Structure 1
Amino acid sequence: MKILKFALPALSFIMAVAACSKDDSNTSTAITVQNISGKYVVKGLVYTVAGISFNLYDSFPACEKDNYVLLNTDKTLNYVDDGEVCVPSSADNGTWDVRNDSIIFTSQFESAKVQSYDGKTLVLTGNPESEPSVVATTTLEKQ
């Protein structure tokens, strides 16, 4: 009986904490402006040419790795040269929009197909305008 006296309050406490915990299953992964909007950092950039992949992200200078992209709900875009500033600065602005399964960018950015989005990690693929035989895969992580 003594064990039940202590076990029941402990069990009640555990159930209360579990009931109040954040439910990540509500994160919407639909490809919409509202869901995609946010602050992102680049976590990967791979170019594939003739079936051979090159990891470009690992060769980024430190001043590029601390930058971030703001995809605002008003469809404006800010590429922020944060922390160690690159010379010349890589800061830029533009616009973006969602069309079907792609994100359309302006400014120095281009269109990119959404390969996957889980509410936190956004993987985009596209062909750089200057190199149409290249497939670029960019991995962004929502902050």
Structure 2
Amino acid sequence: MTNQESLFLSHGDHQLHLRHIWQQKGGTPIFMLHGAIENGLIFYTKKGKGLACYLAEQGFDVYVADLRGRGESTPRIDKHAVHGQFEAITEDIPHFINYIFQVTQQKIHLVAHSWGGVLLASTLARFPKIIERIRSKTCFGTKR
């Protein structure tokens, strides 16, 4: 059985949700990022099912993001929202990666679904220093 907790990272006027799933803390970290029309629940359920929970059962320390306005991140997207891909690429994703690296002090495996893979690749291209904190990148159904 895996353990789960919701972490909320303050970032400007937003709270970014990061679901932490583990069996024993200290495993190699994995950061999982959803695509454009979904949230982190694409990777896990609160009842312990999904890829994130499976990886935690294998000993990994898994962190699943909800991008700004999605899932449990607040405030929710509405007609007044003015953020988009630029903020995800230049602010939110680097914030998640830097937080995970600071907490674990280990290189991170990246896992993305759909458009999340494009956003991750864009972040890595824009901020090459972040690559030093990355062990690998795996994408499922990512457009090219």
TM-score range, shorter chain: under 0.3
- In terms of Rg, which structure is larger? 1
**What TM-score, normalized by structure 1, do the two folds share?**
0.24
Which has the larger helix fraction? 2
Which has the larger strand fraction? 1
